[in-house]
Amino acid sequence: MNAEIIAIGSELLTPNRKDTNSLYLTARLNELGVKVSFKTIVGDRLADLIGVARTALSRASVVIFMGGLGPTEDDLTREAVAAALGRGLHRDQQYVDWLRARFADRGWPMPENNVRQGDVVEGAEILLNKRGSAPGQWIQADFEGRKTAIMLLPGPPMELTSVFEEHCINRLRQFVPQLHIASRELKIAMIGESMVDQRAAPIYKNAMDVETTILAGAPGEVQLHLYAQAESQETAQARVDSLASTLEDEFQDSVFSSNGESMEQIVGFFLQMRQATLAVAESCTGGMLAERITSVPGSSRYFLGGAVVYDNSLKSSLAGVPPLLIAEHGAVSSEVARALAEGIRERCKATLGVGITGIAGPDGGTEEKPVGLVFVAVSDGSKTDVVERKLPGDRERIRQWATLQALDMVRRRLV
């Protein structure tokens, strides 16, 4: 069963306003087994609104309108839904009296235009709103031969959630066939999106009972979202788990996360499990690696710190790289990456040390050492791995790729 969510209000069509209500509604609908197929945002023009309502009724079984239920002349959702359904609108005098009493309770007279909030689509149930003056409405209709549930909800997030939780969830449970849902999220590092797709598609296309979406995450990261519906929770879970494990077999240790965790969470998890500590010396990433690691609460248990060695003199003074090594091989070299990892590890007395050096651009590239060339090293004191990469994209993307490369190398050392 599919849904459309419609947000109403000209302010939502300005450069500064995002609709966030729909994320909450989507999560709630998904829990009930309803998928959102369309989201529409429209302003306060009646003709636009009626058109949007008609389109939605023609393509979705659950249609939720948010906003446009206030007392002003701009608030036209009631009129538009009635027109789209070909139904009348009548004033619910009982609601108007209730609203008037509510204003009186607070010692205010009710402004006369508030009576419009008692206008109800023919056949609708009124849904009381504890947090505001705009009531919701629930309508069931046969629209073009399809059973449809229609909700009108107030726009302010607190009012919307209150009315939806109290009045709509139970009604929807009656309306929607009962279904159970399970999902998984795999994350893969350092393989391009199209390459992941080429290898994953033959696998997930065989799993007809699981819906799979491939998504590019941060540079260097690809996500596989798996989603299944079934008659029982066990069956739904078994379906996504089975596909997840086949995909994990295909991508082996490139899968760094099997339940949506971030790379820095996974690295932190393994460091703690091995009772290991980490120190980093970053040149081109300029602190990004340390920043990502320390974004995880509790990272002080395994992350000691390190150095941002932008200037060559600091590569020597803070991370112990011999100046001669830099003079001989250049700051961007396998040798310097190695020395950074080994040097910072020793200075910080860490289990593992990471060194990163490269050319993030846009300037500073040469024919021999172009923009995007990055060396990443990881050392545990007895063995140091160095990886050379030519990374694509602009300064920001190169820095993000290099950061993920370093995290991935640390992870592979610990797994």
What is the β-pairing status of strands 211-216 and 221-230? antiparallel
**Distance (Å, rounded) from C-alpha 82 to C-alpha 377?**
66
Least distance (Å) between residue 71 CB and a second copy: 5
**254 touches a second copy by CB under 8 A:** no
Least distance (Å) between residue 283 CB and a second copy: 8
- Coil/strand/helix, residue 45: coil
Window 131-150: residues binding a second copy (CB under 8 A): 131, 133
Q: Letter for the amino acid at 399?
A: R
Least distance (Å) between residue 230 CB and a second copy: 19
**297 touches a second copy by CB under 8 A:** yes
Least distance (Å) between residue 349 CB and a second copy: 7
Percent of residues in the chain assigned helix, strand, coil, to nearest 5: 45, 25, 30
Opening angle at CA 275, ends 269 and 277, nearest 5: 85
- Of 31 and 122, the one with the shorter C-beta distance to a second copy is 31
Q: Which of 221, 282, 335, 342 binds a second copy (CB under 8 A)?
A: 282
Classify residue 220 as exposed, middle or buried by CB count within 10 Å of its CB (0-12, 13-18, 19+): buried
Mark the segment that binds a second copy (CB under 8 A) among 22-30, 61-69, 374-382, 405-413.
Answer: 22-30
Q: Which of 89, 388, 404 is nearest to 267 (CA)?
A: 404
Mark the segment that binds a second copy (CB under 8 A) among 32-40, 244-252, 320-328, 335-343.
Answer: 32-40
Q: Which of 1, 255, 308, 341 binds a second copy (CB under 8 A)?
A: 308
Window 79-108: residues binding a second copy (CB under 8 A): 106-108
**62 touches a second copy by CB under 8 A:** no
**337 touches a second copy by CB under 8 A:** no
**Distance (Å, rounded) from C-alpha 33 to C-alpha 180?**
7
Structure tokens given for 97: 């009296």
Window 183-242: residues binding a second copy (CB under 8 A): 192-195, 197-198, 201, 213-216, 225
Window 354-413: residues binding a second copy (CB under 8 A): 361-364, 390, 392-397, 399
**18 touches a second copy by CB under 8 A:** yes
- Of 88 and 260, the one with the shorter C-beta distance to a second copy is 260
Q: Which of 127, 149, 309, 356 binds a second copy (CB under 8 A)?
A: 309
**Distance (Å, rounded) from C-alpha 58 to C-alpha 69?**
23
**330 touches a second copy by CB under 8 A:** no
Q: Quick one: how far is CA 168 from the chain centroid?
A: 25
Least distance (Å) between residue 157 CB and a second copy: 11
**Distance (Å, rounded) from C-alpha 134 to C-alpha 117?**
6
Window 154-183: residues binding a second copy (CB under 8 A): 156, 158
- Of 11 and 125, the one with the shorter C-beta distance to a second copy is 11
Q: Which of 140, 246, 294, 334 binds a second copy (CB under 8 A)?
A: 294
Q: Which of 337, 341, 343, 338 is nearest to 357 (CA)?
A: 337
Least distance (Å) between residue 129 CB and a second copy: 12
- Of 16 and 252, the one with the shorter C-beta distance to a second copy is 16
Window 106-125: residues binding a second copy (CB under 8 A): 106-108, 111, 113-114
- Kindly list the distances between the CA atom of residue 144 and the CA atoms of 61, 84, 121, 148, in Å, as whole numbers in the listed order: 11, 12, 18, 10
Contact 19, 41 (CB under 8 A): yes
Contact 217, 290 (CB under 8 A): no
Q: Which of 23, 104, 128, 415 binds a second copy (CB under 8 A)?
A: 23
Q: Which of 257, 252, 273 is nearest to 199 (CA)?
A: 252
Burial 288-316 (b: 16+ CB within 10 A, else e): bbbebbeebeebeebbbebbbbeebeebb
User: Tokens 């050379």 belong to which residue?
Assistant: 388
- Of 15 and 383, the one with the shorter C-beta distance to a second copy is 15
Least distance (Å) between residue 395 CB and a second copy: 6
- Of 213 and 245, the one with the shorter C-beta distance to a second copy is 213
Q: Which of 50, 59, 87, 387 binds a second copy (CB under 8 A)?
A: 59
